[in-house]
Amino acid sequence: EVTINYRHGLPVVTLTLPTRSERCQFTVKPMVTSVGAFLQDVQREDKGIERAEVFATDGSKVSDATLMEVLLMNDFKLVINDTAYSVSPPVKDKLSSEHATEMEDIKSLVHRLFVALHLEDHQVRKERELLQKLDHLKEELLPLEQMKARIMDSADAKTSRLLWVGLALMSTQGGALAWLTWWVYSWDIMEPVTYFITYGSAMAFYAYFVLTRQDYIYPDAKDRQFLHYFYRKSKKQHFNVERYNKLKEDLAEAEESLRRLRQPLHLRLPIQEISEKD
Protein backbone atom coordinates (compact mmCIF):
# COMPACT_ATOMS: atom_id res chain seq x y z
CA GLU A 1 0.00 0.00 0.00
CA VAL A 2 1.20 3.51 -0.87
CA THR A 3 -0.12 6.34 1.27
CA ILE A 4 0.24 10.11 0.98
CA ASN A 5 -0.14 12.46 3.94
CA TYR A 6 0.58 16.15 4.32
CA ARG A 7 3.01 17.10 7.07
CA HIS A 8 3.94 20.75 7.62
CA GLY A 9 2.36 21.58 4.27
CA LEU A 10 4.48 19.06 2.32
CA PRO A 11 3.27 15.70 0.95
CA VAL A 12 4.90 12.62 2.48
CA VAL A 13 4.77 9.46 0.33
CA THR A 14 4.99 6.23 2.36
CA LEU A 15 5.62 2.92 0.56
CA THR A 16 7.10 -0.52 1.21
CA LEU A 17 10.57 -1.20 -0.15
CA PRO A 18 10.54 -4.60 -1.94
CA THR A 19 14.01 -5.78 -0.90
CA ARG A 20 13.91 -4.99 2.84
CA SER A 21 10.08 -5.21 3.17
CA GLU A 22 10.02 -2.10 5.33
CA ARG A 23 8.02 1.09 5.14
CA CYS A 24 9.90 4.17 3.96
CA GLN A 25 8.77 7.80 3.84
CA PHE A 26 9.71 10.27 1.10
CA THR A 27 9.04 13.96 1.62
CA VAL A 28 8.69 15.77 -1.69
CA LYS A 29 8.53 19.42 -2.65
CA PRO A 30 5.64 19.42 -5.12
CA MET A 31 6.52 22.69 -6.83
CA VAL A 32 10.18 21.69 -7.36
CA THR A 33 10.41 17.89 -7.43
CA SER A 34 9.56 16.12 -10.68
CA VAL A 35 8.22 12.60 -11.10
CA GLY A 36 11.59 11.44 -12.45
CA ALA A 37 13.46 12.86 -9.44
CA PHE A 38 11.02 11.16 -7.04
CA LEU A 39 11.47 7.78 -8.76
CA GLN A 40 15.25 8.19 -8.67
CA ASP A 41 15.08 8.82 -4.92
CA VAL A 42 13.07 5.62 -4.50
CA GLN A 43 15.55 3.59 -6.56
CA ARG A 44 18.52 5.04 -4.64
CA GLU A 45 16.89 4.01 -1.36
CA ASP A 46 16.46 0.39 -2.50
CA LYS A 47 19.03 -0.94 -4.99
CA GLY A 48 16.78 -3.94 -5.66
CA ILE A 49 14.26 -1.79 -7.54
CA GLU A 50 14.87 -2.33 -11.26
CA ARG A 51 11.72 -0.67 -12.54
CA ALA A 52 9.86 2.35 -11.17
CA GLU A 53 7.22 4.10 -13.26
CA VAL A 54 4.07 6.14 -12.81
CA PHE A 55 0.93 5.71 -14.89
CA ALA A 56 -2.33 7.63 -15.03
CA THR A 57 -5.62 5.89 -14.30
CA ASP A 58 -6.25 5.48 -18.03
CA GLY A 59 -2.99 3.51 -18.45
CA SER A 60 -0.91 6.27 -20.07
CA LYS A 61 2.61 6.77 -18.74
CA VAL A 62 3.33 9.97 -16.84
CA SER A 63 6.39 11.86 -18.11
CA ASP A 64 9.41 12.10 -15.81
CA ALA A 65 9.42 15.88 -16.31
CA THR A 66 5.94 16.25 -14.76
CA LEU A 67 5.97 18.07 -11.43
CA MET A 68 4.72 16.23 -8.38
CA GLU A 69 2.27 19.07 -7.76
CA VAL A 70 0.48 18.13 -11.01
CA LEU A 71 0.68 14.39 -10.28
CA LEU A 72 -0.88 14.75 -6.81
CA MET A 73 -3.97 16.46 -8.21
CA ASN A 74 -5.43 13.14 -9.44
CA ASP A 75 -5.27 9.40 -8.71
CA PHE A 76 -2.40 7.46 -10.33
CA LYS A 77 -0.66 4.08 -10.35
CA LEU A 78 2.88 3.54 -9.03
CA VAL A 79 4.62 0.50 -10.52
CA ILE A 80 7.66 -0.86 -8.64
CA ASN A 81 9.25 -3.87 -10.33
CA ASP A 82 6.22 -6.06 -11.10
CA THR A 83 3.89 -4.65 -8.41
CA ALA A 84 1.36 -1.92 -9.21
CA TYR A 85 -0.03 0.31 -6.45
CA SER A 86 -3.18 2.40 -6.83
CA VAL A 87 -2.61 5.76 -5.15
CA SER A 88 -5.31 8.24 -4.18
CA PRO A 89 -3.79 11.52 -2.97
CA PRO A 90 -5.78 13.30 -0.25
CA VAL A 91 -7.54 16.52 -1.14
CA LYS A 92 -5.54 19.44 0.17
CA ASP A 93 -7.57 22.07 1.95
CA LYS A 94 -7.82 25.25 -0.04
CA LEU A 95 -6.52 28.40 1.55
CA SER A 96 -9.05 30.95 2.60
CA SER A 97 -9.20 34.12 0.54
CA GLU A 98 -7.86 36.15 3.47
CA HIS A 99 -4.96 33.75 4.00
CA ALA A 100 -4.24 33.65 0.27
CA THR A 101 -4.15 37.45 0.13
CA GLU A 102 -1.78 37.52 3.09
CA MET A 103 0.52 34.98 1.39
CA GLU A 104 0.56 37.06 -1.79
CA ASP A 105 1.50 40.15 0.22
CA ILE A 106 4.34 38.24 1.87
CA LYS A 107 5.58 37.00 -1.52
CA SER A 108 5.47 40.55 -2.90
CA LEU A 109 7.39 41.85 0.13
CA VAL A 110 10.04 39.15 -0.21
CA HIS A 111 10.38 39.93 -3.92
CA ARG A 112 10.86 43.64 -3.23
CA LEU A 113 13.45 42.94 -0.55
CA PHE A 114 15.33 40.64 -2.90
CA VAL A 115 15.31 43.26 -5.65
CA ALA A 116 16.45 45.99 -3.26
CA LEU A 117 19.32 43.85 -1.92
CA HIS A 118 20.57 42.38 -5.19
CA LEU A 119 19.63 44.91 -7.87
CA GLU A 120 22.67 47.12 -7.36
CA ASP A 121 25.14 44.20 -7.52
CA HIS A 122 23.39 42.80 -10.56
CA GLN A 123 23.40 46.21 -12.24
CA VAL A 124 27.11 46.73 -11.60
CA ARG A 125 27.94 43.25 -12.90
CA LYS A 126 25.77 43.70 -15.98
CA GLU A 127 27.24 47.15 -16.67
CA ARG A 128 30.76 45.72 -16.45
CA GLU A 129 29.85 42.98 -18.93
CA LEU A 130 28.35 45.50 -21.35
CA LEU A 131 31.39 47.77 -21.12
CA GLN A 132 33.70 44.83 -21.86
CA LYS A 133 31.51 43.87 -24.80
CA LEU A 134 31.59 47.46 -26.11
CA ASP A 135 35.38 47.58 -25.87
CA HIS A 136 35.67 44.27 -27.71
CA LEU A 137 33.30 45.39 -30.48
CA LYS A 138 35.09 48.72 -30.90
CA GLU A 139 38.44 46.94 -31.19
CA GLU A 140 37.03 44.73 -33.94
CA LEU A 141 35.40 47.68 -35.72
CA LEU A 142 38.42 49.99 -35.67
CA PRO A 143 40.36 48.38 -38.58
CA LEU A 144 37.12 47.85 -40.49
CA GLU A 145 36.16 51.51 -40.04
CA GLN A 146 39.55 52.62 -41.36
CA MET A 147 39.27 50.32 -44.37
CA LYS A 148 35.70 51.46 -45.01
CA ALA A 149 36.77 55.12 -44.91
CA ARG A 150 39.47 54.48 -47.54
CA ILE A 151 37.05 52.56 -49.77
CA MET A 152 34.39 55.28 -49.45
CA ASP A 153 36.90 58.00 -50.37
CA SER A 154 37.95 56.03 -53.43
CA ALA A 155 34.35 55.33 -54.50
CA ASP A 156 33.35 58.96 -53.95
CA ALA A 157 36.28 60.19 -56.03
CA LYS A 158 35.40 57.84 -58.90
CA THR A 159 31.74 58.87 -58.75
CA SER A 160 32.63 62.57 -58.83
CA ARG A 161 35.02 61.95 -61.71
CA LEU A 162 32.26 60.16 -63.62
CA LEU A 163 29.88 63.12 -63.07
CA TRP A 164 32.44 65.57 -64.39
CA VAL A 165 33.10 63.34 -67.40
CA GLY A 166 29.36 63.31 -68.10
CA LEU A 167 29.22 67.08 -67.93
CA ALA A 168 32.21 67.36 -70.27
CA LEU A 169 30.61 65.01 -72.79
CA MET A 170 27.32 66.93 -72.72
CA SER A 171 29.19 70.23 -73.20
CA THR A 172 31.15 68.73 -76.09
CA GLN A 173 27.96 67.43 -77.67
CA GLY A 174 26.26 70.85 -77.35
CA GLY A 175 29.26 72.62 -78.83
CA ALA A 176 29.48 70.17 -81.72
CA LEU A 177 25.78 70.56 -82.55
CA ALA A 178 26.09 74.37 -82.46
CA TRP A 179 29.16 74.28 -84.70
CA LEU A 180 27.45 71.99 -87.21
CA THR A 181 24.29 74.10 -87.16
CA TRP A 182 25.75 77.58 -87.66
CA TRP A 183 29.08 77.00 -89.40
CA VAL A 184 28.89 73.76 -91.36
CA TYR A 185 25.26 72.94 -92.09
CA SER A 186 21.93 74.69 -91.59
CA TRP A 187 19.17 74.08 -89.06
CA ASP A 188 17.11 72.27 -91.71
CA ILE A 189 19.80 69.59 -91.89
CA MET A 190 20.62 69.43 -88.17
CA GLU A 191 17.02 69.34 -86.91
CA PRO A 192 16.53 65.61 -87.69
CA VAL A 193 19.93 64.89 -86.12
CA THR A 194 18.98 66.59 -82.84
CA TYR A 195 15.62 64.80 -82.92
CA PHE A 196 17.24 61.37 -83.12
CA ILE A 197 19.78 62.35 -80.44
CA THR A 198 16.89 63.33 -78.14
CA TYR A 199 15.02 60.13 -79.00
CA GLY A 200 18.15 58.06 -78.33
CA SER A 201 18.55 59.73 -74.92
CA ALA A 202 14.93 58.87 -74.08
CA MET A 203 15.60 55.25 -75.07
CA ALA A 204 18.71 55.21 -72.84
CA PHE A 205 16.70 56.52 -69.87
CA TYR A 206 13.98 53.91 -70.49
CA ALA A 207 16.59 51.16 -70.70
CA TYR A 208 17.96 52.36 -67.34
CA PHE A 209 14.45 51.97 -65.85
CA VAL A 210 14.04 48.49 -67.35
CA LEU A 211 17.36 47.32 -65.90
CA THR A 212 17.18 48.98 -62.46
CA ARG A 213 13.39 49.44 -61.93
CA GLN A 214 14.13 53.03 -60.92
CA ASP A 215 13.58 56.38 -62.56
CA TYR A 216 16.68 58.14 -63.80
CA ILE A 217 16.94 60.75 -61.05
CA TYR A 218 20.39 62.27 -60.71
CA PRO A 219 20.83 61.81 -56.90
CA ASP A 220 19.61 58.21 -57.08
CA ALA A 221 21.80 57.45 -60.09
CA LYS A 222 24.79 58.97 -58.27
CA ASP A 223 24.14 56.83 -55.16
CA ARG A 224 23.74 53.72 -57.28
CA GLN A 225 27.04 54.33 -59.04
CA PHE A 226 28.70 55.05 -55.68
CA LEU A 227 27.50 51.71 -54.27
CA HIS A 228 28.71 49.95 -57.42
CA TYR A 229 32.22 51.34 -56.97
CA PHE A 230 32.10 50.72 -53.20
CA TYR A 231 31.20 47.01 -53.42
CA ARG A 232 33.64 46.41 -56.27
CA LYS A 233 36.45 48.02 -54.27
CA SER A 234 35.38 46.10 -51.11
CA LYS A 235 35.62 42.82 -52.97
CA LYS A 236 39.12 43.65 -54.19
CA GLN A 237 40.34 44.62 -50.71
CA HIS A 238 38.49 41.71 -48.99
CA PHE A 239 36.29 44.02 -46.90
CA ASN A 240 33.49 41.91 -45.36
CA VAL A 241 30.44 44.17 -45.52
CA GLU A 242 28.11 41.65 -43.82
CA ARG A 243 30.45 41.22 -40.85
CA TYR A 244 30.84 44.99 -40.56
CA ASN A 245 27.06 45.51 -40.53
CA LYS A 246 26.64 42.75 -37.93
CA LEU A 247 29.24 44.35 -35.66
CA LYS A 248 27.56 47.73 -36.02
CA GLU A 249 24.19 46.23 -35.07
CA ASP A 250 25.71 44.48 -32.03
CA LEU A 251 27.41 47.73 -31.00
CA ALA A 252 24.16 49.71 -31.26
CA GLU A 253 22.29 47.03 -29.30
CA ALA A 254 24.93 47.00 -26.53
CA GLU A 255 24.91 50.81 -26.30
CA GLU A 256 21.11 50.82 -26.05
CA SER A 257 21.21 48.16 -23.30
CA LEU A 258 23.82 50.16 -21.40
CA ARG A 259 21.74 53.33 -21.74
CA ARG A 260 18.63 51.59 -20.41
CA LEU A 261 20.65 50.01 -17.58
CA ARG A 262 21.93 53.41 -16.45
CA GLN A 263 18.45 54.91 -16.38
CA PRO A 264 16.77 55.38 -13.00
CA LEU A 265 14.74 52.35 -11.90
CA HIS A 266 11.37 54.14 -12.07
CA LEU A 267 12.00 54.98 -15.73
CA ARG A 268 12.70 51.34 -16.63
CA LEU A 269 9.70 49.79 -14.89
CA PRO A 270 6.46 49.29 -16.84
CA ILE A 271 3.72 51.85 -16.23
CA GLN A 272 1.35 49.28 -14.68
CA GLU A 273 4.00 48.11 -12.20
CA ILE A 274 4.71 51.70 -11.14
CA SER A 275 1.02 52.39 -10.54
CA GLU A 276 0.66 49.18 -8.51
CA LYS A 277 3.63 50.08 -6.32
CA ASP A 278 2.34 53.62 -5.82
For residue 92, name the pLDDT band (cuts at 50, 70, 90). low
Buried b / exposed e along 10-44 (16+ C-beta atoms within 10 A): ebebebebeeeeeeeeeebebeebbbeebbebbee
Q: Indicate the average pLDDT of the chain.
A: 79
pLDDT at 276 over 50: no
For residue 248, name the pLDDT band (cuts at 50, 70, 90). confident
pLDDT at 135 over 60: yes
Across 18-22, 103-107, 124-128, the highest mean pLDDT is recorded for: 18-22
pTM, two decimal places = 0.45
pLDDT at 27 over 70: yes
Which residue segments constitute the domains of the chain, with CATH numbers given?
Answer: 2-87 (3.10.20), 122-267 (no CATH)
Window from 103-107, 215-219, 243-247 with minimum mean pLDDT: 103-107
pLDDT at 245 over 80: yes
Amino acid 99: pLDDT: 54
pLDDT at 264 over 70: no
Amino acid 93: pLDDT: 56
For the stretch 177-197, pLDDT in tens is: 888 888 888 888 888 888 888
pLDDT, greater one: 5 or 106? 5
For residue 269, name the pLDDT band (cuts at 50, 70, 90). very low
